[in-house]
Structure 1
Amino acid sequence: MRKQNSNGGENVLVLGAGQLGAAVLEFLVPAVTKRHGRVSVIVSPGSRDEQGKLVSDTHQKLANAGAEFIAVDVAASTPEALKTHFADVDTVINCMGFVAGAGTQIKITRAVLEAGVSRYFPWQFGVNYDVVGKGSGQPVWDEQYDVRTLLRGQSATEWVIVSTGMFTSFLFEPAFDVVNLANKTVNALGGWDTQVTVTSPADIGRLTTDIYLHQPRIVNDVIFIAGETTSYRKLAETVERVTKQAFTRNVLTLSALQDALRHNPDDPMLSYRAAFARGEGVWWPMHDTWNAQNNLPTQDIAAWLKTAL
């Protein structure tokens, strides 16, 4: 059921305004406002100071552009409480990620469906959970598979999944330890020919807005986007070419990572490394992506790294 506001524009609610949420909002707010719609954003109560002022300059800029910020502790909220925030919304775009803890994505999805939201973009800005399935060694990925099952088991709410692969920046996250710029090491997950798809948050924000606006309207579909699909061998070559430095190369085999995980089952970065080392559902060919098919340029790893350096 469409709940468009009196001007005929859509009421869009974005959950979260972190790295991804802010990137989505940068493109979404002007696009929705231009169409006489309204964008609200749910952020944590800690996003405002004691005077009620938004702490983040990024959030304040988005508020100045027309986004309305609402403070809600999503992790502590019941599905019934969340439903009240979703009641007058046409589209929910979930950029909340895994920070809110296990079970939160299922809880949000149930609340969206029960509130009768017309269209939902779930937090699936990652790998292809249909291929990964359950039992990847990454418990939050199991939950993502369950979210898809829940959405496919109903017909009242339209859904759009945007599969992005890994955030490009995550390849260079010291804690993830794939490319460690400080130590000049590249650790291949699984093997040098294992592949991975990455997209920058800025590209995800722009393309998600394009997908949201696209006519004819995209309904009940998984859309694949990518900045680049690469092997770890090619990644090492790219890093050395851009930095003009030699890097020590190591392989973290799947069996070694699974052994380590047995000894440290609660290490989230270890479980991510093991899940990506499987090489299943974590990459797709560039020619299959929505951006390639629509001739929309995206930032590859070399371009991202030049900007970051």
Structure 2
Amino acid sequence: MNNDLNHMELDNMLVLGAGELGMAIVRHLVLRRTGTVTPLAVLVSPHSLAAPGPEQARNYHELRASNVRLLPFDLVACSDDELTALLGRFHTVINCTGFVAGPGTQLRLTSAVLRAGVSRYFPWQFGVNYDIVGKGSGQPVFDEQYEVRTLLRMQTRTEWVIVSTGMFTSFLFEPAFGLVDLTAEVVRGLGSWDTKVTVTTPDDIGRLTTDILLDRPRIANEIVYVASDTLSYRELADVVEEVTGQRYRRELLTTDMLIDETARRPDDAMARYRLGFARGDGMWWDKDTTYNAMRNIPTTDTRTWLQQSHLLEGPD
């Protein structure tokens, strides 16, 4: 019966989105979908399919070569009834849309999943522990994610699995976020140097999400924690210096400084993110307690990711 259920899930599955995370999950699903009959479906915007950018074109070529069906659908322009009808065609839905469709996207998608009676749902919760963060954090995205969890827990018809990943490892080095400035050789801590953050690479998320989906005994109505790495901002600075062989200036952005920054720039999403990740609570968990650690599944820590990245390469 378990094998039949596996095939039913994998034969009737929809991934929402073909961005960085969606592609990582699809790549690992394709490897595990042996013996399936119908192609894996991936929802993409009609505009991107008609006029793809360079990266989208490469992704869509890869998906077609892997026998993945591209399903054009406009999440912004569609009605609630159209969205519900679409989702109702699938047994399992994995949501990798992020917030590209704007505020309220995740609540709307989750409501449609529940109305459609989707059997199993992996929501876009590939982030922090929103139960601990709660509402009123000052980050509207976090508030919406907390409300998504509330909706899922209020019902029993649709099974759900939340995969908590922390932030993408690459986000530590995102210039707009301002933690690590490789050009200016500066590392900034948020809140305190001992504040911790959990990070996971998209490839690790893709592999672990696929493992969690197929795990037996079946995982249902649970939050599963994964991590490529958990480290403090002091440890992050140490890693950067050791990998680059350079001494970096260390700047601590205290919570009071970050509160002042968000007050001055209330519309600055990155300022709100910096304040959120200065809190510590809910932003990290012990890697030894994660799904991957307990099953001895290797992941890519921050040191290895930086060593393998192209960030340290000089100009051609």
Is residue 8–residue 36 contact of structure 1 (8 Å, CA) maintained in 2? no
Task: Tell me, in whole angstroms, the C-alpha distance in 1 between the residues paired with 2:306 and 2:100.
Answer: 26
CA displacement, residues 239-273 of structure 1 (integer Å, 9 cap, x when unaligned) = 00001111111011111111111111110000000
* CA RMSD of superposed structures (Å): 2.1
Q: What is the one-letter code of the residue matched to 1:12?
A: M
Q: What is aligned with 2:116? A: 115
Is residue 138–residue 275 contact of structure 1 (8 Å, CA) maintained in 2? yes
Instruction: Tell me the TM-score normalised to structure 2 length.
Output: 0.92
Q: What is aligned with 1:270? A: 271
Is residue 79–residue 110 contact of structure 1 (8 Å, CA) maintained in 2? no
Is residue 9–residue 91 contact of structure 2 (8 Å, CA) maintained in 1? no
Task: Tell me, in whole angstroms, the C-alpha distance in 1 between the residues paired with 2:66 and 2:207.
Answer: 16
Q: What is aligned with 1:134? A: 135
Quick check: 1:291 aligned with 2:289?
no
Q: What is aligned with 1:75? A: 76
Unaligned 5+ segments in structure 2 are: 311-316
Give matches, 1:103-252, under 5 Å.
Answer: 103-252=104-253
Is residue 163–residue 222 contact of structure 1 (8 Å, CA) maintained in 2? yes
Cα distance change, pair 9–26 in 1 and its aligned pair in 2 (3 A): closer
Q: Cα offset for 1:286? A: 0.9
Q: Cα offset for 1:36? A: 3.8
CA displacement, residues 80-122 of structure 1 (integer Å, 9 cap, x when unaligned) = 1111211110100000112211000000000000011000000
Is residue 229–residue 284 contact of structure 1 (8 Å, CA) maintained in 2? yes
CA displacement, residues 42-80 of structure 1 (integer Å, 9 cap, x when unaligned) = 1112222369x9952122112211211111221232321
Cα distance change, pair 201–5 in 1 and its aligned pair in 2 (3 A): closer
Task: Tell me, in whole angstroms, the C-alpha distance in 2 between the residues paired with 1:5 and 1:292.
Answer: 24
SS in 2 for 1:38: coil
Cα distance change, pair 236–36 in 1 and its aligned pair in 2 (3 A): same
Give matches, 1:30-49, under 5 Å.
Answer: 30-36=31-37, 38-49=39-50
SS in 1 for 2:250: strand
Is residue 6–residue 214 contact of structure 2 (8 Å, CA) maintained in 1? no
Q: Cα offset for 1:174? A: 0.2
Unaligned 5+ segments in structure 1 are: none
Quick check: 1:62 aligned with 2:44?
no
Cα distance change, pair 6–218 in 1 and its aligned pair in 2 (3 A): closer
CA displacement, residues 141-198 of structure 1 (integer Å, 9 cap, x when unaligned) = 1000000000000000000000000100000000000011122111101110000000
Q: What is the one-letter code of the residue matched to 2:165?
A: T
The worse-fitting range, judged by mean Cα deviation, of 221-230 and 27-36 is 27-36
Is residue 8–residue 91 contact of structure 2 (8 Å, CA) maintained in 1? no
**Count of aligned positions:** 306
Task: Tell me, in whole angstroms, the C-alpha distance in 1 between the residues paired with 2:7 and 2:237.
Answer: 54
Task: Tell me, in whole angstroms, the C-alpha distance in 1 between the residues paired with 2:295 and 2:151.
Answer: 30
Task: Tell me, in whole angstroms, the C-alpha distance in 2 between the residues paired with 1:259 and 1:10.
Answer: 51
SS in 2 for 1:229: strand
Q: What is the one-letter code of the residue matched to 2:96?
A: C
SS in 2 for 1:281: coil
Is residue 24–residue 206 contact of structure 2 (8 Å, CA) maintained in 1? yes
Q: What is aligned with 1:89? A: 90
The worse-fitting range, judged by mean Cα deviation, of 58-67 and 213-222 is 58-67
Percent identical across equivalent pairs?
A: 53
CA displacement, residues 269-288 of structure 1 (integer Å, 9 cap, x when unaligned) = 00000000111100000111
Task: Tell me, in whole angstroms, the C-alpha distance in 2 between the residues paired with 1:98 and 1:184.
Answer: 31
